[in-house]
Amino acid sequence: NFMLTQPHSVSESPGKTVTISCTGSSGSIASNYVQWFRQRPGSAPTTVIYEDKRRPSGVPDRFSGSIDSSSNSASLTISGLKTEDEADYYCQSYDSGSHVVFGGGTKLTVL
């Protein structure tokens, strides 16, 4: 079964840049689009990156997504960190049967 692996947690200071990785277990992560979701406590997830690197309207350009085929991984980079960025972040893609797959989530702490 295709799986996506994320670090359990990351932390960084306000104003700095943080990168969250999402590594595919098999095949090529570039074969299907990767999305990134932010989830604040008690709220539903919202999309911050879709189709690997595109931002929905309203998401600041401090958020960027990329794919690295050599490491079979996707990355979410947040620059100019703000305390409001503190949340859980999930990557998402699809398996060979077009079933939705999520990473386990990464808790971002901005301290």
Partner 1 sequence: VQLVQSGAEVRKPGASVTVSCKASGYTFTGNLVHWFRQAPGQGLEWMGRMNPNSGVTTYAQKFQGRVTMTRDTSISTAYMSLTKLRSDDTAVYYCARAGAFPFDPWGQGTLVTVSS
| Residue closest to 37 by CA, chosen among 76, 11, 81 | 76
Give whichever of 85 and 95 is closer to partner 1, judged by the CB atom.
Answer: 95
Distance from C-alpha of 103 to C-alpha of 40, rounded to nearest angstrom = 16
Residues in contact with partner 1 by the rule CB under 8 A = 35, 37, 39, 44-47, 50-51, 54, 56, 90, 92, 98-105
- As a whole number of angstroms, the distance between CA 19 and CA 37 comes to 14
Q: Which is nearer to partner 1, 43 or 70 (CB)?
A: 43
Minimum Å gap between C-beta 70 and partner 1 is 26
CA distance 38 to 99: 21
The least distance separating partner 1 from the CB of residue 44, rounded to whole angstroms, comes to: 4
